[in-house]
Structure 1
Amino acid sequence: MTTHTTVGHTSFSASTTGKKMFRVNSGIPLDDAMETISLLQHYANQLTLDAAMNDNGERFIWSAFYLGEMAKALLDDVNDAMFLPRADA
């Protein structure tokens, strides 16, 4: 990919106070981040399918939700890393 790394701008998982509990770390190579996004989304999709096909599927929903939220945050941070340098130019 490139030598770009995550910027660490993105936070996720709101607490009861409305503040975000977690943040993407800066300095992660984008190819590693993209591989992780793919894995997180794959498992979120699998859990969602399990939830839809299982009579007791509600136990899978929160796990799928959090995995999807993590994938989205990481993807947003990768997007920032890729496009912020272009905006500065």
Structure 2
Amino acid sequence: MDKTVPEGTGTLGLTVGSASCMDGVIKGKRLFRVKAGNCCNHAIEQASLLLDCSRRASFIGVMDDEPVLVWASHFLCEMAKALMDDAHMGMRKQR
């Protein structure tokens, strides 16, 4: 895998691919994992977008009594956390 970051891409480093989210049916197994080698700047931007969507879904879900939107908010938060955790590991690795 090419580990060079294209010019113009953020300088924070690359994701390491070890953060995961959403519990699987088997104890200790996770359904999703962040892919290694992505720009940490982009991962953080995407996490911010996921958190904004989560905030909106949570608000609408509570106000309109739509539990499915509250669950969607929960899963979006898990994805955002995995992105942030993995980006943080990538930034620490770059030091």
Runs of 4+ in 1 over 2 A off after TM superposition: none
CA apart distance, 1:59: 1.8
Instruction: Please give the root-mean-square deviation of Cα atoms over the aligned residues, in Å.
Output: 1.3
SS in 2 for 1:42: helix
TM-score (norm 1): 0.87
Aligned residues: 85
Give 2:42's aligned residue.
32
Which structure carries more helix by proportion?
Answer: 1
TM-score, normalised by the number of residues in structure 2: 0.82
Match in the other structure for 2:64: 54
Amino acid at match of 1:30: C
Which segments of 5 or more consecutive residues in structure 1 lack a partner in the other structure? none
CA distance in 1, matches of 2:94, 2:39: 15
Q: Any idea what the Cα deviations from partners look like across 1:60-88, whole Å, max 9, x if unmatched?
A: 122111110000000000110112344xx
Higher mean alpha-carbon deviation, 15-24 vs 1-10, is at: 1-10
